[in-house]
Structure 1
Amino acid sequence: MSQQSQPLPDRARVVVIGGGVIGTSVAYHLTKLGWTDVLLLEQGQLSCGTTWHAAGLVGQLRASESGTRLVQYSVQLYGELEAETGLSAGYKQCGGVTVARTEARMTQLRRTAATAAAYGMECHLLSPQEALERYPVMQVDDVLGAIWLPGDGKANPTDLTGSLAKGARMRGATIRERVRVTGVRTEGGRVTGVETDQGDVEAEVVVNCAGQWAAAVGAMAGVTVPLHSAEHFYVVTEPFAGVHTDLPVLRDPDGYTYFKEEVGGLVVGGFEPEAKPWVSPHELPHPFEFSLLEEDWDHFSVLMDSALHRIPTLHTTGIRKFYNGPESFTPDNQFLLGEAPEVAGFFVGAGLNSVGIACAGGAGRALAEWIVEGEATSDLTSVDIRRFAPFNGNVAWLRDRVSEILGLHYEIPWPNREMTTARPFRRSPVHHLLEAAGADFGSRMGWERPNFFAPAGEEPVIEYSWGKQNWLPWSAAEQTSTRTGVTVFDQTSFSKYVVTGAGAEAALQWLCTADVAVPVGRTVYTGMLNARGTYESDVTITRTGDEEFLVVASAATTVRDLHHIRRHVPEGLDVTVFDATSAYAVLGVMGPRSRELLSRLTTADLGDEAFPFSTSQVVPIGYATVRATRITYVGELGWELYVPAEFAVGVHEDLMRAGADLGVRRGGYYAIESLRLEKGYRAFGRELTPDTSPVEAGLTFACKLGTDIDFLGRAALEKARADGVRRRLVSFAVDTPEPMLWGGELLLRDGAAAGQVVSAAWGETTGACVGTAWVWSGDDEPVTLAQVRSGDYSVDVGGEVFPVSVTTRPLYDPDNARIR
């Protein structure tokens, strides 16, 4: 009897919901890892939702090393599947050509080539004529140049799904089609199984790979899955001369279009600047098997006109088929992976944002390893579902946002590019005051945060470019104010958690690298690691009582931090953790005159002896009572004021009034970024990731390795310290003020690829761009500090090479005299 004709099993260790390419990949990799009791349920037929009409492009090079490695694994897998399963994935490595029509795009392509060099991937810059030789059916009159990625390819989505499914079955998985999940069962905050139209199934783990239906499936478990469908278009042409099976994939991002050979003709598709949202995630029709939406030639015209321009033969070539296949997109154009913070054992792999075929192999393996190991095994922060909060599931907000998201695929990925749709969103209590003062706002975890302040008469807008942007002089003035006077920063977006209970100290001692058994009123900088000894977060912790601690983290990490903390509190401890983020505004008062300013508003003694660095007190500020913590992220004397939200406007007004004759300024996050990089301070999500250990980051001083106190990740960290590491973080300054760096640039030592810039910004005090960078071991052997400090370093900035000075100490005030 076939699997399909057998009754549905009563239980399975894992139930995977969704039989598209990501669901079958997860099932395949779970069985490959030894978890064979896997049941995959598909409401229609395998690949019948979004997968079947995917274009099947497989471009390997991604914006991050972790994303690139993920797709590289996909390519390796797709080439091996037929030998294993007997079914081809329809994968062909044909290479990819990307052309540039503008100088800005050409700069991006040069940066892409440098990124490829950093990752050891083959990539070549091409002249227009060389691009034409690779792709003879296009015209290149307006092409300035191109890149050639020989490792790019294409796959057949349906064949790939079938091969993955067969591989899963061969190792014991059960795959059932035409079974619709109607509910998800939970008990005590943990998933216990699913309800279907053919009976209930108990399960330890449920994996939501339902594609466009993933939001509705998530809602069954009380889990937010923030995605929204948009209509997505391409056409398939009749065959014409010059098109053959080995023709590369062509991308013309300035024209929003891509071209892929199919049966002698071309698939012509793209990502129009303004997308067309489809129905809400909870209104998707059923059944919707192998279904398409109505043709919309008017909406497609921007893509078709561009395609006719690039490939003139299309003027006389027939169209065989118009595809309008809806697809779901997330609010930031990165997919969703990981365990849902709301329900233990409920995992999500969805929202692949038109990169599902390229990423499915690597994403499926990564999610399967997460399920088996109990935590991610590599850096998945950019796709981790915990980067979103429940408010990101608002359908009206998602609908407006998705209209912008689809077009980002082929937009120039400008440094510091901000979303424009569905804003403003979360606002601090002093937002209106900052807006009136000329703030340009960026967005982080939904918070509207000031990037910089434009002077009177100037528009607070970003004029995007690869060079020095229009706002740089204004941000530089904020840096100077902070180094020489006093600046007020609205840092309300900080994540803030209160950890209380008789077991609070013991719990945090286990979770944190640093010793937090400190007196009340002390503040400690610490990392939080996973079992692999790499970062899950970096935070400051203030002991606010015998059984109470205030934990402060970056804006973006609220959900993941809370989930990590709650999951890893040792059993049996009396601990309560709650999110206090919205209860307090945070105003940073920073600079050598910060003490003078604050002393005008408080009776508290702010002197070094009464109020030393890394301490915190409750003090009056004007009419308000606030928590003042003497700490800094900019490398100057300063205090962070934790102000009850209802008092924030008054405190901010008092600070600006009392500091008027001191020349007090408001400052934005661009200035903070520059100041922290001059000081060499690290940031989670940039320098610190789940692929980074304190040894690599130079932060073992914030680890209690000199004590016998155990903490999560200690054993792995000690092993890394003993064995040595294959990369080390350095600070650098460019030797000349001309170039503008943004992060991601190739680092060279003695002219050879040696690493990559992590973060970079203009340093006004230094008089040039500064930043942090990884120096990698060229031979995969441990790299010593002596090796790091040797050689002549330079950076590749959009194809031009500039010398840099590298150091393992802070560029600015290396002895910390100014902050103490």
Structure 2
Amino acid sequence: MKTHVKALVVGGGAVGCGIAYHLAKAGWDTMLVERDELTSGSTWHAAGLLPLFNMSYATTHIHKYSVDFYKTLEAETGLNAGFAVVGNLRMAQTQGRMDEYMLYSSVAETAGVHHEFLTPAQIRDRWPLVRTEDLKGALFHPQDGYINPADVTQAMAKGARQRGVQIERKVQVNGYRWTGSEWVVTCCRMVDRGGNLVPSDDTFEICAEHVVTATGNHAQRTARLLGAKIPAIPVEHQFIVTEPDPALVEWRKTNPEHPVLRDADAKWYVREERGGWILGPYECGAPARFLYDVPETFRADLFPLDLDRIEIEYLSMIHRLPSSETVGLKDDFNGPICYTPDGNPLVGPVPGLRNMWIAEGFSFGITAAGGTGHYLAQMMIEGEAEIDMASLDPRRYGDWMTTEYAARKNEECYEHVFILHHPDEEREACRPLRTSPAYDRQAAAGAQFGQVNGWERPNYYAPFGFDDHHSRSFRRGGWWSYAVEEAKAIRETAGLIDATAFTKHLVRGPGATAFLDWFTTNRLPAMGRINLTYALTPAGTTRTEYTTVRLSENEYYLISAGAWSAYDGDYLRKCAEDRMSDFGYIDIHDVTTQWGVFALAGPNSRAILRELVKDADPDTVLGNKRFPWLSMRSIELGMCPVRAIRVAYTGELGWELHHPIEMQTYLWDRLIEAGEDHGLRLVGARAQNWLRQEKSYRAFGSELGRDATPLEAGLDRFVDLGKAFQGKAAMLATGIRSRCVTLLIDGPADADAWGKEALVLNGETVGRLTSGGYSVAFEKQIGMGYVRPDLAAPGTRLQVRMLRQLWDAVITEDSPHDPANARIRADG
């Protein structure tokens, strides 16, 4: 057995085998170890569905790659993976569900996923066993289907072996130790004693430059061995298999197999199985399991079935397939399927560790296995994948995450598999958890909160008694009119936004200036000044956006997106560690929870601050001469010391007021009092999102990410090509593959773009939106997105796919509202 390899994959399910295959395909010397038998985890009892498409752009590409890849395995390995391309029929009982599918359709169009809409009559004509009188219609993916999970895993394993991968079964990993250049992985042989799999005294070590864990149900044990937090915890998933249905058997004598049927409003999927049906429900009350460990007695085992829990779903299957009513149950399964709090798997590097990668938390592991192997191998070997994998990055969760939180959120995620996924969806489990001191005051003022990185953040403010949950929609929900008034207030008077969730890092030390000059694209600001800058990936794409405040010669305050604290911090620290010998000592602290942030913006914002500034001449303190745009000053607002930054994400005259968190309620009260005579209105994140699009301000996670360079994003003015910085050569070599643009849209009267829609020219998809909303300045829909470079000129007319229709749109100049920035620079 090998003792030294380039890459060691831990876990022999579908995901692990897919990773091993693709690492070997790329030429890496790879080994895989599995504590039991291949497929003995969740793989063996998976239903094997291959839902080609979902609403995540990255996950859609992963699934699409898998489906295409699985079709090639038999020719390569001689093993038939049992791929049945029967299609996937997503049925809708309500108009809301059809609206969801119309948004699905537009996103699928941008990813090249073929699909079609069917009417109830067309469904009935093609599949008469399906009851359709209460349906609105369906979305049909003819290229979807299902596969045998064990067979496709064994096919990938054989393909991996053919490429040189050594696969060792009955080997358990018991420890990981990093030497500075490689991982020493402590292992032992496992033995079967009375049906239980137990460790033996046969221990040994494997040295590997890189390690990937794909341990499925054992993710919590992996987390303890690594000293990391991995919020992948299984939830019980039941499915039942019926006896043959005579009506189905008769139908199949002359007709092809039914597609996978998904009645999302009834919360189940159904497919054919040997003349009968498989029902897979996603019911309420399914419990999380294995919060801390998997018992040694649990191997390829199942939990007892809880039929009472799925009674509603079972009866709804009978309603949809009346012929199944008299058919008995043949078999049942209730096994663990891993989830994460947001439903996306965890794919990427482990925070704080070098060359340690995880691929955990797959609720659709069979569908994702091939694509995960492909894109993770790209990340490991080339430094980045060709698609932005940030939405799957393990570092999207911070150290505040606990086992209890993950378990409860994973249960909620399971229950929500088929619940309408509104773009404005806010799930309620485990909330509130992270709250700023002003939370109670905001709640009392009618704040309707969203959650970002665990933080409660006002989305908008509504009158008491307003029901946020029932106001959600794929069109303009009940919150829309409130957001409109909030946006108008910032344009006309003033608005106050809680931005406490911003990520904040303090970077200082003798090497700080030289490091940050190399780490970011823009020239560093002078003391007391700020700039907007970008950290790049080694591939030259955008890794992080920072507002950089220079506090002193070698001390900087870095502000970045609130959703990405651990993601930004881990990258920042690792890059600094790598270059400390070149630049000198660098001290980095995450100070996010030490500083609260209020954004005060609007034409009257200076007048409000003037009432609170403690200085002999408040007018001079706040005027352009002493406090110009893009500068920082330490000021006192009443008894609160404030690090005030003259910048506004809304594009109006304004300041970010960074303050000691313990003084937040005091400052909130003073600002509210001072604003009473100046039209101050409380404003949430949704109005802010609309306003920043009127200024063409790019948002990280939307316009900015690891699949576009700053030059493609149109951020040339923040890139100093006269200096050396990380990723510069790769950025220039990439060139301009697409361009970020802002569009004004003449859309439907009751809906706005969400930022997922296809952009079309003469029937051809030429780009996609990454943001969308409503413009109060232009009184029409607005969006931002990427198009072919030859189409990026202002005045170019395109169309946007919304609600299955094409709506006219025109590309505007950047910053269509106040392009000269006269309002944000205003003196007074």
With structure 2 as the length reference, what TM-score do the two structures score?
0.93
Secondary structure of the 1:465 match is: coil
Q: Does 1:281 align with 2:291?
A: yes
Of stretches 437-446 and 140-149 in structure 1, the one that deviates more from structure 2 is: 140-149
Partner of 1:5: none
Q: Does 1:175 align with 2:167?
A: yes
The one-letter code matched in structure 2 to 1:713 is G
Cα distance between partner residues in 2 of 1:218 and 1:719: 39
Cα distance between partner residues in 1 of 2:748 and 2:241: 51
**Aligned residue runs from structure 1 range 551-700, under 5 A:** 551-569=558-576, 570-572=579-581, 573=583, 574-602=585-613, 603=615, 605-700=621-716
Contact 2:739 2:792 in 1 (8 A): no
Of stretches 795-804 and 556-565 in structure 1, the one that deviates more from structure 2 is: 795-804
**Aligned residue runs from structure 1 range 376-455, under 5 A:** 376-392=385-401, 394-455=402-463
Cα distance between partner residues in 2 of 1:32 and 1:13: 13
Partner of 1:719: 733
Cα distance between partner residues in 1 of 2:488 and 2:11: 55
Q: Does 1:246 align with 2:246?
A: no
Cα distance between partner residues in 1 of 2:785 and 2:377: 31
Contact 1:486 1:589 in 2 (8 A): yes
Structure 2 residue runs of 5 or longer lacking an equivalent are: 189-198
The one-letter code matched in structure 1 to 2:9 is V
Secondary structure of the 1:425 match is: coil
Cα distance between partner residues in 1 of 2:301 and 2:78: 28
Partner of 1:819: 824
The one-letter code matched in structure 1 to 2:697 is Y
Partner of 2:554: 547
Q: Does 1:520 align with 2:527?
A: yes
1:116 deviates by 2.6
Secondary structure of the 1:342 match is: coil
Partner of 1:361: 370
Of stretches 746-755 and 559-568 in structure 1, the one that deviates more from structure 2 is: 746-755
The one-letter code matched in structure 2 to 1:649 is T
Count of aligned positions:
797
Contact 1:71 1:358 in 2 (8 A): yes
**What is the CA deviation profile of residues 700-750 of structure 1, one whole-angstrom value per residue up to 9, with x for unaligned ones?**
111102x1x1111211222344xx424543332436754332221232334
Contact 2:8 2:32 in 1 (8 A): yes
1:275 deviates by 3.7
Q: 1:743 aligns with which of 751, 755, 759?
A: 755
1:673 deviates by 0.7
Contact 1:208 1:218 in 2 (8 A): no
The one-letter code matched in structure 2 to 1:380 is M
Partner of 1:801: 806
Cα distance between partner residues in 1 of 2:486 and 2:395: 33
Partner of 2:379: 370
Relative to structure 1, the CA distance from residue 86 to residue 129 in structure 2 (aligned partners, 3 Å threshold; closer, same or farther) is same
Q: 1:294 aligns with which of 297, 304, 310?
A: 304
Contact 1:222 1:342 in 2 (8 A): no
Relative to structure 1, the CA distance from residue 462 to residue 636 in structure 2 (aligned partners, 3 Å threshold; closer, same or farther) is farther
Contact 1:275 1:402 in 2 (8 A): no
Partner of 1:537: 544
Cα distance between partner residues in 2 of 1:741 and 1:377: 26
Secondary structure of the 2:291 match is: coil
Cα distance between partner residues in 1 of 2:747 and 2:377: 46
Partner of 1:4: none
1:375 deviates by 4.0
Partner of 1:207: 212
Q: Does 1:468 align with 2:476?
A: yes
Q: 2:517 aligns with which of 497, 509, 512?
A: 509
Cα distance between partner residues in 2 of 1:316 and 1:95: 26
1:621 deviates by 1.0
Cα distance between partner residues in 2 of 1:141 and 1:552: 55
Partner of 1:141: 133
**What is the CA deviation profile of residues 479-516 of structure 1, one whole-angstrom value per residue up to 9, with x for unaligned ones?**
11111111111100000001111111111111111111
Partner of 2:360: 350
Relative to structure 1, the CA distance from residue 811 to residue 190 in structure 2 (aligned partners, 3 Å threshold; closer, same or farther) is farther
Cα distance between partner residues in 1 of 2:432 and 2:697: 29
The one-letter code matched in structure 2 to 1:475 is A
Partner of 1:226: 231
1:9 deviates by 4.1
Relative to structure 1, the CA distance from residue 275 to residue 534 in structure 2 (aligned partners, 3 Å threshold; closer, same or farther) is farther
Contact 2:792 2:811 in 1 (8 A): no
Secondary structure of the 2:390 match is: coil
Secondary structure of the 1:109 match is: helix
Q: Does 1:14 align with 2:25?
A: no
Cα distance between partner residues in 1 of 2:648 and 2:453: 22
1:234 deviates by 0.6
Of stretches 207-216 and 565-574 in structure 1, the one that deviates more from structure 2 is: 565-574
Secondary structure of the 1:659 match is: helix
Contact 1:696 1:729 in 2 (8 A): no
**Aligned residue runs from structure 1 range 720-799, under 5 A:** 720-721=734-735, 724-734=736-746, 738-775=750-787, 777=788, 783=790, 785-786=792-793, 789-790=795-796, 792-799=797-804
Contact 2:182 2:208 in 1 (8 A): no
Cα distance between partner residues in 2 of 1:96 and 1:169: 33
The one-letter code matched in structure 2 to 1:356 is G
With structure 1 as the length reference, what TM-score do the two structures score?
0.94
The one-letter code matched in structure 1 to 2:304 is E
1:118 deviates by 2.9
Secondary structure of the 1:412 match is: coil
Relative to structure 1, the CA distance from residue 396 to residue 221 in structure 2 (aligned partners, 3 Å threshold; closer, same or farther) is same
Contact 1:184 1:195 in 2 (8 A): no
Of stretches 178-187 and 507-516 in structure 1, the one that deviates more from structure 2 is: 178-187
Contact 2:54 2:60 in 1 (8 A): yes
Cα distance between partner residues in 1 of 2:244 and 2:564: 50
Cα distance between partner residues in 1 of 2:778 and 2:801: 20
Q: Percent identity?
A: 34
Relative to structure 1, the CA distance from residue 632 to residue 148 in structure 2 (aligned partners, 3 Å threshold; closer, same or farther) is same
Contact 1:99 1:253 in 2 (8 A): yes
The one-letter code matched in structure 1 to 2:365 is G
Relative to structure 1, the CA distance from residue 156 to residue 794 in structure 2 (aligned partners, 3 Å threshold; closer, same or farther) is same
Of stretches 194-203 and 692-701 in structure 1, the one that deviates more from structure 2 is: 194-203
Relative to structure 1, the CA distance from residue 134 to residue 528 in structure 2 (aligned partners, 3 Å threshold; closer, same or farther) is farther
Of stretches 566-575 and 122-131 in structure 1, the one that deviates more from structure 2 is: 566-575
Cα distance between partner residues in 2 of 1:458 and 1:90: 51
Contact 1:275 1:406 in 2 (8 A): no
1:377 deviates by 4.2
Q: Does 1:74 align with 2:66?
A: yes
Contact 2:627 2:646 in 1 (8 A): yes
Structure 1 residue runs of 5 or longer lacking an equivalent are: 1-7
The one-letter code matched in structure 2 to 1:622 is G
1:751 deviates by 4.9
Relative to structure 1, the CA distance from residue 720 to residue 166 in structure 2 (aligned partners, 3 Å threshold; closer, same or farther) is closer
Relative to structure 1, the CA distance from residue 58 to residue 698 in structure 2 (aligned partners, 3 Å threshold; closer, same or farther) is same
The one-letter code matched in structure 1 to 2:728 is R
Q: Does 1:49 align with 2:49?
A: no
Cα distance between partner residues in 2 of 1:520 and 1:189: 39
Cα distance between partner residues in 2 of 1:136 and 1:576: 68
